[in-house]
Structures are given as structure tokens and as C-alpha cells.
Homo-oligomer: A and B are copies of this chain.
Amino acid sequence: MKLVLASSSPRRRELLPLLGLPFEVIEPEVEELTTGDPREVVAANAELKARAGAGLAGPGATVLGADTDVVLNGLVLGKPADEAEARARLRSLAGRDHEVHSGVYVVGPAGARSGTEATTVGFRRLGDDEIDAYVATGEWRGRAGGYAVQGYGSSLIASVDGDLSNVIGLPLPLVARLVGDLQTS
């Protein structure tokens, strides 16, 4: 199987080697959906990326697209634009639970498989000084939801219910299941 990851996320590239399959990376440009039911949005965006990637990769390749959204009270939280937005984001996440949704879409010669994963993450209460300290690290830049659970952001977390790799940005157990299913079909 010639596996191609259609993603510009460094986190996805770092996690995918666990599958034990060699893979290439391409970065298709797609117009992502931004509104709608979170689960449907990540599923649709994953398919958009996989199909755009398949167009670039050519026939014979099995292409993996993924999309992750951080959702608070039903609203999708994007990437903070600046420090003020990062600060406001952390303030809204502090002391409560939010959800991380990922969509995964795999398409190749053997057909297509898709799925979604959801993990509930609880932030502890945060003081203004703690929020300032986290914002000062710059770790929030380019991160959906404004934090990195595998970095300094780990110190903001009080609970995780569900797959943790999903919160980093690629739900590996789901990916392994979908890819494995295509390999044996």
C-alpha cells in the first residue's frame, strides 16, 4: 500500500509513523467548511482533504485526510489570531469541559473508509498570571483551540475522557482501524 498523508500539520506527521507503514506527505489546498455541526464539519473537511490529495497523488495511492476541531458549548474554536485572542480563548476554556472532534477519511484503490472520534477535555481553573504565562510561551500559535496538550498545555488539563492522540491532532486508533480495513479488503 502506498500511503499518502494529505495534511500540513506537523503533529499528524509526527504521530502517523506509529502505523508502521511508510508514507509520503502532500499538502493539498482546500476550501474548508467552517460552520455546521462539528462532527459533520470535520468529516466533510477530512473527505475534502483526502479527495484533493488523491487528485495530486495520482492512481494507486491510498490517501489519508484528517481534520480536527475544538468545540466549546457547540461552537468551533479556531486558531487564535493574536495574544489577546489566545488569552480570551484560555479564559473561556478554564474551569470547564470542551470537546475535540476529528474526522478521518481514507481513500484508495480498495475503496474509501471514514470515521469520527470525539474526546472530552477538562481544563482546570486558571489564574490571570497562569494564562499570561501560557500565552507568553507562544505555544498556542497555529493550534486549533489555542493550546497544545502535549506541551506546556499539559499543565492546563484536569481531565481527559477518550483518545488522547485525537487531542494532539490525529486519532491513531481510528486511523489504524480504517487503514487496516482497506488493506485487508
Within 8 A of B (CB), among A146-182: 149-152, 154-155, 157-165, 167-168, 171-173, 176
Partner of A164, one of B20, B136, B160, B176: B160
CB pair B164 A133 closer than 8 Å? no
A105 CB-CB contact with B under 8 Å: no
A163 nearest CB across to chain B (Å):
7
Partner of A157, one of B130, B134, B136, B160: B160
Instruction: Report the copy number of this chain in the oligomer.
Output: 2
A97 nearest CB across to chain B (Å):
13
* Interface SS majority for chain A: helix
Known: A124-B173, A157-B160, A173-B124. A19 touches B133 (CB 8 A): yes
A18 CB-CB contact with B under 8 Å: yes
A15 cross-chain contacts in B, Cβ below 8 A: 152, 154-155
A135 nearest CB across to chain B (Å):
11
Within 8 A of B (CB), among A1-36: 14-15, 17-20
